[in-house]
Structure 1
Amino acid sequence: MIGIYEKALPKNISWRERLELAKKLNFDFVEISIDETDDRLSRLDWSKEERRVVRDAIFDTGVKIHSMALSGHRRFPLGSLDSSKREKALEMMEKAIDLAYDLGVRSIQLAGYDVYYEKKSVTTRDLFIENLQKCVEMAEDKGVLLSIEIMDDPFINSLSSFSKIKDQISSPYFQAYPDLGNLSAWPKNDVGYELEKYISNITQVHIKDTLAVTDEYPGKFKEVPFGDGCVDFLGCFKTLKRLNYNGSFVIEMWSEISDAPEKEIKDAQGFIYPFMREAGYVVK
């Protein structure tokens, strides 16, 4: 299945309109965003009726909300030294799992940061793992997968670094969500080997382009036009296909406030899909 990130689609439309547009563009599903803004965090408190409206749109259009990008923990990190922020992070997680359960979301993508706006330390790492274990226990109770994204941050910027956290939390409900762009941007990563070594942990894959990190440049991890970055898309798709990866892909874009988001998405499909087909994937 191939999905589209919510932030690629126009922002100020209803969920029914968003799912209808995704269907028009031949996507199987939409990945909902729960980011650090008050507007999107408020979705965690949707009423039963608000959830019912979204569920009805899902059933009527046939387009699922298959995954959730929960990046709100940037603002309220699980590893924060501030106990009130950690409590808020756990509350957000519980609400996100409940929302996912109600909407039929299969997988929640967690941002792989111990902290984002604070200074990192052994303590923030330990607090992150301690609270992540609590999150996984919540998820297990509802049968929802938690998948850590490979990030634009040194804390978890490879599947190998994810595995160090996975070693502490032995649960089938805790897995990895690699972003091909983020994985490729860090020069230390042997991308093909990373995919091979940890294929059994991969639940979903983000597709985007990035500019690589160098000694003189911090890299660019968002809004890099497809084809302008460092990602070897054909190589990544061929590797995943050889490994019999048949899970979902999500095209990650930020065209929600663009003058022509539909065109930008079609252009992205026109760039990505030939590589996927050449690698052996069937694309609509």
Structure 2
Amino acid sequence: MDLQVKLSNKIGVIVDSLKLPLYDGLKKVKEIGADGVQIYAVDGTMAPENMSPQARKELRNFLDSIGLEISALCGDLGGHGFQDAVLNEEKVEKSKRILDLAVDLGTNIVTTHIGIIPENQNSNIYEAMQIACEELGVYAKSLDAFFAIETGPETASRLKQFLDSLSTNGVSVNFDPANMVMVTGDDPVAGVKLLKDYIVHTHVKDGVQIKAVDPKDVYGFLGYGGGVDHEKIAEMVSSGAYFRETPLGHGKVDFLNYFNALKEINYDGYLTIEREVNIDPVKDIADAVKYIQQFKH
């Protein structure tokens, strides 16, 4: 393999992927050689309503003490994302509080899924998503922060069209190449170049598509069989009937060209490892850190 990319990006880990208590997971991330962590901040002890000022300070102090930083928070509220206008007021407010928490913890990025963006720009669902994202984009911008949509549920071109319709770049992109490979069949390298003005965070994950799958069956769509939660997605991944997540370098993501594309667009943010298969996550993630390190100076 030609490893001439020479990345200088920091390496992150979604700490929840390790399936350890938070502070144990943070220590493990440091031990396996990563620079930062992404943390789910939707429910439990990390939910913004449960994070007192003291708890926020303690977490920041602990991260500082072991030499880690937060690459992003994950604020994915599940269900249909922002497709349902009836639920959006509550979801937008919760998302704003997660953005506030992110800033308090020293990061300016919250990643999420917003639901599949419809092809029909005149649909009620498209309008509901647009109104919610416009409000969140303006709010994020006021904090000098980003609410970053994860790639995968739709093609990069449809996502860019949606983002271009908003008044700010406060809503941007968390680029996940494996979601494209496994679900839409979109080309991650072309996607990076198309979305270059919006990419603020990335996931490093690999996978293969076994047979074509309707993204609505993976991510859910309002009026189409109900929303699909993360446990269901993990079950689909592990069953391998339609697509399969793999260790880095064993799937269909062309990491050499993917990393080259990120370098070409001058992306200098985190490469954050996500692992949704839970057989031996600590070993998988440690191996993933080593894999990415091959491409660094």
**How far does residue 96 in structure 1 lie from its aligned partner after superposition?**
0.4
The whole-number CA distance in structure 2 between the counterparts of 1:221 and 1:215 is 8
Count of equivalent residues:
261
The whole-number CA distance in structure 1 between the counterparts of 2:63 and 2:116 is 34
Q: Which residue of 1 aligns with 2:275?
A: 253
Work out whether residues 172 and 198 of structure 2, in 8 Å CA contact, stay in contact via their aligned partners in 1.
Answer: yes
Work out whether residues 213 and 242 of structure 2, in 8 Å CA contact, stay in contact via their aligned partners in 1.
Answer: no
**How far does residue 186 in structure 1 lie from its aligned partner after superposition?**
4.8
SS in 1 for 2:47: helix
Q: Which residue of 1 aligns with 2:35?
A: 28
The whole-number CA distance in structure 2 between the counterparts of 1:221 and 1:144 is 33
Summarize the alignment of residues 134-213 of structure 1 with structure 2, pairs less than 5 Å apart. Answer: 134-151=135-152, 153=153, 157-186=154-183, 189-212=186-209
**How far does residue 90 in structure 1 lie from its aligned partner after superposition?**
1.4
**How far does residue 20 in structure 1 lie from its aligned partner after superposition?**
2.3
The whole-number CA distance in structure 2 between the counterparts of 1:188 and 1:254 is 19
SS in 2 for 1:182: helix
Judged with a 3 Å threshold, the aligned counterparts in structure 2 of structure 1 residues 110 and 217 are, in CA distance, closer, same or farther, namely: closer
The whole-number CA distance in structure 1 between the counterparts of 2:31 and 2:212 is 43
The whole-number CA distance in structure 1 between the counterparts of 2:214 and 2:200 is 31
2:252 to 222, 230, 249: 230
**How far does residue 80 in structure 1 lie from its aligned partner after superposition?**
0.9
Q: Deviations over 1:97-122 (max 9, x none)?
A: 1111211122111213159xxxxx92
Judged with a 3 Å threshold, the aligned counterparts in structure 2 of structure 1 residues 168 and 47 are, in CA distance, closer, same or farther, namely: same
Work out whether residues 2 and 29 of structure 1, in 8 Å CA contact, stay in contact via their aligned partners in 2.
Answer: yes
RMSD: 2.9
**How far does residue 267 in structure 1 lie from its aligned partner after superposition?**
2.2
SS in 2 for 1:65: strand
Amino acid at match of 1:170: S
Work out whether residues 80 and 86 of structure 1, in 8 Å CA contact, stay in contact via their aligned partners in 2.
Answer: yes
The whole-number CA distance in structure 2 between the counterparts of 1:245 and 1:137 is 23
Q: Which residue of 2 aligns with 1:118?
A: none
Q: Which residue of 1 aligns with 2:83?
A: 79
Q: Deviations over 1:183-226 (max 9, x none)?
A: 23356524322222322221121111122264478775674333
Amino acid at match of 1:48: P
1:100 to 87, 96, 102: 102
Identity %: 23
Work out whether residues 226 and 268 of structure 1, in 8 Å CA contact, stay in contact via their aligned partners in 2.
Answer: yes
SS in 2 for 1:226: coil
Work out whether residues 110 and 149 of structure 1, in 8 Å CA contact, stay in contact via their aligned partners in 2.
Answer: yes
1:8 aligns with 2:17: yes
Q: Deviations over 1:242-274 (max 9, x none)?
A: 33332221111136x65x543222222344443
User: Normalising by the residue count of structure 1, what TM-score does the alignment of the two structures yield?
Assistant: 0.80
Q: Which runs of 5+ in 1 are unaligned?
A: 116-120
Work out whether residues 48 and 97 of structure 2, in 8 Å CA contact, stay in contact via their aligned partners in 1.
Answer: no
Q: Which residue of 1 aligns with 2:59?
A: 54
Judged with a 3 Å threshold, the aligned counterparts in structure 2 of structure 1 residues 126 and 222 are, in CA distance, closer, same or farther, namely: farther
The whole-number CA distance in structure 2 between the counterparts of 1:2 and 1:244 is 16
SS in 2 for 1:203: strand
Q: Which residue of 2 aligns with 1:70?
A: 75
Higher relative contact order (CA 8 A, sep 6+): 2
The whole-number CA distance in structure 1 between the counterparts of 2:137 and 2:32 is 34
Q: Which runs of 5+ in 2 are unaligned?
A: 1-9, 216-240
